[in-house]
Amino acid sequence: MDRIESPLSSRRHSRLYLLGLLIIFTAVWFSNLEYRKLVRPDEGRYAEIGREMALSGDWITPRLNDLKYFEKPPLQYWATAAAFRLFGDSHWGARWWPATTTFICVLLMFWTGRRLYGEEVGLSAAAALGGCTGFIINSHLNTLDGGLAAFLTIALLGFLLAQHSGATPKENRRWMLVVWAALALAVLSKGLIGVVLPGAALTLYLLVERDWRRLTRLHLGKGLTLFLLIAAPWFIVVSLVNDEFARFFFIHEHFDRFLTSGHRREGAWYYFVPILLIGIMPWLPFIALRLRDGWRRADRSLHPSSEASSALTPDPSPTSERGEAVLQPLRLLLIWAGFIFLFFSLSHSKLPSYILPMFPALTLFAAVEMHRMSPETLSRLAWGLAAAGGGLLLVVLLGGEPIAQAFSKETSPFEIVRDYIPWILASVAAFTAGASAAAGLFRTQPYSTAIVVLALGSLSAGILAMDGHDTQSRLSSTYHIVRDIEATNGPFDRNLPFYSVRMYDQTLPFYLRRPVTLVQYTDELALGLAAEPEKGIAQVDDWKIRWIALEQGYAIMNPANYAQFVIEGLPMRMLARDPRRVIVSRQ
């Protein structure tokens, strides 16, 4: 039978042990930022916006391909542009912001878990987040969701620290100001969603708990003032400089995105179910087993001087000594995760990374609940993970090439797809080894030791899987085709026009270090082209006339369009091609 409290929950680790884990985690976490090529669309898009901002010095109006781009606020653009100015254009500079902000979340998870539940749980919570598959992958991609999730997590953890029953008035005020600042930075990361998600989750929690006195501990006056001082200035200035900003950003990018399918990112109601089940691994079985008990249990958060193990026992009273309702951290975590899942499931715009803010809440829940379980139960669940990993390893070993063949097509040749197989094998092997080792350690060592080992196996698996994806970069990035041409023909002449015909590969401007002229293509750049139509060509026929009259220039197109232009006798010389792109010159 599962036990209610862990006898090891108050154990303290040596500083040398914690420092060693931090060094290992840091080295692995940041190991592959420069190695992988940027992939389309998001990584190329957000790297290019930062590159153009660093080059122009215009920190108010973001531009993509030298066109106004108002889909998102500028915080990550600023961070990327600053890195490029300091260290030069690089993959590391493009990815450092999401990787660093999420890394800070892992450290804060340790701090929060230790303050509320003791050092064993704190270390387990940090390990669980650092080894969460969905969190690992999204933290190492140059998208805005990593930074958004990081600031929402800082707000959530800050709220737990501010509102637990042992918090002094000074701690409550200090941490609530951290919460308000984090919310402002979340808004500057990705818009109003930075306050909608936490605001709705808190409201639902207050409704469930009928804990309306909690509102008096939010420091609304000081908090809102701090929030507006951080978040409002850019929105005001950019609206004054650009008349089209306010309607596009607040109406098109928020209400239209949620209520309509105009962004062509719709999905079924169950779209996020498999993403959640895979993304929360390896902690899924531990969460599933304790979900009901975790919701029912009344947790008592700790004063720092209290015995850590007492936080893992049921609180017999729902109120504190001051007569106030006691915060229920686990219930809040589940409400937070549940609302985010429901919100994006109802949205007409869906992408896998949207539910990223769920994972920190669920991993903290998992860490706490795992310390309430028996060694035998934990070991059995870990062996189950190891068995699943071993089964998958066998499938890839025996059927890797047929699977690669099934995923192959004209635009994804088998010769390229199969190069991923050894990396998948290495990734699954790392996960299986970590789960197997943890299964044995749960019976003989402190829980946190086994959880750290399981997390390191999962982290290594995630890093290997992402590194292996670089074998597919000829399909997902223009890095190779651009470098191949430069190696053979020398650098592209920056004074000559470069046309992107009926397509726009988001990575191309970054690797060319220049914008391109769009031909019969608008998509997300429609607003920018409407504001500056002279920077694009509306119809291919108009481009053909200009191309024929041109003495020298370049163009990129897909293979089908290239074949058609060859039939038409359009004058051009192929410089290079890959399965998805052809680059030609007019000479």
- pLDDT tens digits along 81-120: 999 999 999 999 999 999 999 999 999 999 999 999 999 9
Report the alpha-carbon distance of residue 503 to residue 412 in Å, rounded.
18
Share of the chain above pLDDT 70, in %: 91
Question: Using 50, 70 and 90 to split pLDDT, how confident is the model at 11?
Answer: low
User: What per-residue confidence (pLDDT) applies to 23?
Assistant: 96
Write the CA distances from 103 to 129, 146, 465, integer angstroms: 10, 10, 19
Question: Using 50, 70 and 90 to split pLDDT, how confident is the model at 321?
Answer: low
Determine contact, residues 205/156, Cβ cutoff 8 Å: no
- Using a 10 angstrom Cβ sphere, with 0-12 exposed, 13-18 middle and 19 or more buried, the burial of residue 155 is buried
Share of the chain above pLDDT 90, in %: 85
User: What per-residue confidence (pLDDT) applies to 361?
Assistant: 98
- Section 206-219 average pLDDT: 93
User: What per-residue confidence (pLDDT) applies to 556?
Assistant: 98
Angle CA(76)–CA(82)–CA(83) in degrees, nearest 5?
Answer: 90
Determine contact, residues 217/177, Cβ cutoff 8 Å: no
Note the pLDDT tens digit of each residue in 43-86. 999 999 999 999 999 999 999 999 999 999 999 999 999 999 99
Question: Using 50, 70 and 90 to split pLDDT, how confident is the model at 304?
Answer: very low
Asked if residue 306 has pLDDT above 70, the reply is no
Task: Specify which residues 518 forms β-bridges with.
Answer: 500, 536
Note the pLDDT tens digit of each residue in 472-524. 999 999 999 999 999 999 999 999 999 999 999 999 999 999 999 999 999 99
Write the CA distances from 353 to 174, 250, 279, integer angstroms: 31, 21, 10
User: What per-residue confidence (pLDDT) applies to 1?
Assistant: 32
Residue closest to 244 by CA, chosen among 530, 503, 474, 543: 530
- Section 255-281 average pLDDT: 79
Asked if residue 10 has pLDDT above 60, the reply is no
User: DSSP code of 248?
Assistant: I
Determine contact, residues 300/315, Cβ cutoff 8 Å: yes
Residue closest to 302 by CA, chosen among 203, 170, 160, 465: 160
- Section 161-188 average pLDDT: 95
User: What per-residue confidence (pLDDT) applies to 504?
Assistant: 97
User: What per-residue confidence (pLDDT) applies to 2?
Assistant: 38
User: What per-residue confidence (pLDDT) applies to 150?
Assistant: 97
User: What per-residue confidence (pLDDT) applies to 305?
Assistant: 33
Question: Using 50, 70 and 90 to split pLDDT, how confident is the model at 263?
Answer: low
User: What per-residue confidence (pLDDT) applies to 325?
Assistant: 77
DSSP alpha helices (H): ranges in 210-319? Answer: 220-241, 245-246, 257-259, 272-279, 284-296
Tokens of 269: 């109601």
Only one residue has tokens 């010389």, namely: 573
Write the CA distances from 213 to 56, 204, 316, 524, integer angstroms: 50, 14, 20, 45
- Section 402-414 average pLDDT: 93
Question: Using 50, 70 and 90 to split pLDDT, how confident is the model at 251?
Answer: confident
User: What per-residue confidence (pLDDT) applies to 7?
Assistant: 41
Note the pLDDT tens digit of each residue in 447-481. 999 999 999 999 999 999 999 999 999 999 999 99
Asked if residue 580 has pLDDT above 50, the reply is yes
User: DSSP code of 319?
Assistant: B
Residue closest to 151 by CA, chosen among 186, 195, 201, 111: 186
User: What per-residue confidence (pLDDT) applies to 12?
Assistant: 73
Higher pLDDT, 360 or 11: 360
Tokens of 340: 């985010």
Among 12-21, 408-417, 439-448, which stretch is predicted with the lowest mean pLDDT? Answer: 12-21
Report the alpha-carbon distance of residue 450 to residue 97 in Å, rounded.
30
Specify the 3-state DSSP secondary structure of 177. helix
Determine contact, residues 94/210, Cβ cutoff 8 Å: no
Only one residue has tokens 């232009």, namely: 565
Give kind and range of the element (H or E) at residue 577.
strand 573-578
| HSE-up (13 A, CA, CB side) for residue 145 | 20
User: What per-residue confidence (pLDDT) applies to 256?
Assistant: 64
Residue closest to 217 by CA, chosen among 230, 229, 206: 206
- Section 372-388 average pLDDT: 97
- Section 228-242 average pLDDT: 96
- Section 208-223 average pLDDT: 93
Report the alpha-carbon distance of residue 180 to residue 355 in Å, rounded.
21
One-letter amino acid identity for 148? L
User: What per-residue confidence (pLDDT) applies to 4?
Assistant: 35
| Size of the chain, expressed as the number of residues it contains | 587
Q: How far is CA 299 from the centre of its chain?
A: 30
Q: Is the pTM of this model over 0.85?
A: yes
Among 254-268, 501-515, 524-538, which stretch is predicted with the lowest mean pLDDT? Answer: 254-268
